[in-house]
Amino acid sequence: MIRLIPSLPAAYVIARGVWPMPWPVPLKLGLAALLLGASQYHLWSRLSSGSVFAPEFPRPVVILFNWAFGAIALAAPMLLALDLVALVLLVLPGGGWAIPTAWRSAAALASALLAAIAVWQALRVPPLKDVTVTIPNLPPGFDGFTILHLTDLHISRLFPAPWTRRVVARANALGADVIAVTGDFIDGSLEARRADVAPLEDLRARDGVWAVPGNHEYFFDHDAWMRHLEGLGIRILANAHTVLTRDGAALVLAGVTDRSAPATGHPGPDLDAALAGAPAGALIVLLDHQPAQAARAAARGVALQLSGHTHGGMIRGLDRLVARGNSGFVSGAYRVGGMRLYVSNGTALWPGFALRLGRPSELTRITLRCAG
């Protein structure tokens, strides 16, 4: 039942960061128990709600777990680096170096401080990030058209109703032409999250609020959640599109389901179905929660794809690993053939690893401009 992989960094921190310290054995045993307990955060989450994705503890407890889990994750590589240096010096002629106690203490303090900063960065209401996307042959009526891109809200015990309300207020104040949400609205059941998502009903934009599901919606009764979000005025583009117009010109806003959908018996992403009946030659903007299949969208003539899912990699350095699982796309703007792809760092992120260092959350205002 114990989750082995997250317990390994904790075991290393105990062996190399706690046990060598000149402290009483009972104190070291107590710290070891706390570290092992914190490393099992995802197990406790599963026991609290039946799902590792929805820790149903009071918010301060979820924050504390994330801080402790993050401190362990940061301390382990710091201590490993010290040990590697000591090992290299040991094999050199005349070498040999014992790691000073003060250095171990410094690694512990630095990891605790960085984890606290990382959790704070994750929890804040995200700042605005302005992104200009130039598109060849953009109809003049859409020059300056703005899309407010929200994604990965992960509304949960960690990101509850007050946080959602502040995000909605900030989003509405921007006055975007359209609001697009690329999935992962929630972590938790409809019964648990009903009050927390209620502020989303107040989202407003001239051309409406449109969205696609993310993979987390399929973990928690997808069909019930889609009906509820529609009831809040959020129109779901599940392998479908809508047509927006300006001065007689058309923009096709299309959306596909998440690539994880077939695992729960739901239709997978189908871009052909999403674009069926769309005006020929119209500019296409695609909403797809995951960026991995951007090349297919580019081949189909999509001008701009908006995605999330990666949380920007969360921590600079870790983002390189996240990119490997997403066809190399993790954060920011990319050119894929003739298509522009934008991958948002996310409005929030999964409460099971709520840490950000060097990859801040964002409210992304996309402004379309005609190339040249």
Report residue 360 as tokens: 């801040």
Cβ(263)–Cβ(282) below 8 Å: no
- Torsions phi, psi for 24 (to 5 deg): -60, 145
> How confident is the model over 20-35, as a mean pLDDT?
96
pTM score: 0.94
Residue 270: closest CA among 241, 308, 250: 241
Q: Give 40's strand partners.
A: none
> What are 59-116's pLDDT values in tens digits?
999 999 999 999 999 999 999 999 998 888 888 776 667 788 899 999 999 999 999 9
pLDDT at 99: 83
Report residue 258 as tokens: 């998440």
Cβ(335)–Cβ(349) below 8 Å: no
Distance CA 231, CA 313 (A): 32
Report residue 170 as tokens: 């900030």
> What are 196-252's pLDDT values in tens digits?
999 999 999 999 999 999 999 999 999 999 999 999 999 999 999 999 999 999 999
Beta carbons within 8 Å of 323's beta carbon, 6+ residues apart: 310, 313, 329, 330
The label of the residue with tokens 């990382």 reads: 118
Give 251's Cβ-side CA count (13 Å radius). 24
Residue 197: closest CA among 154, 149, 237: 154
Say yes or no to pLDDT of 1 above 60: no
Number of H helices, E strands in the chain: 11, 12
Distance CA 24, CA 35 (A): 17
Reported as a pLDDT band with limits 50, 70 and 90, residue 6 is: confident
pLDDT at 2: 60
Mean pLDDT for all residues in the chain: 95
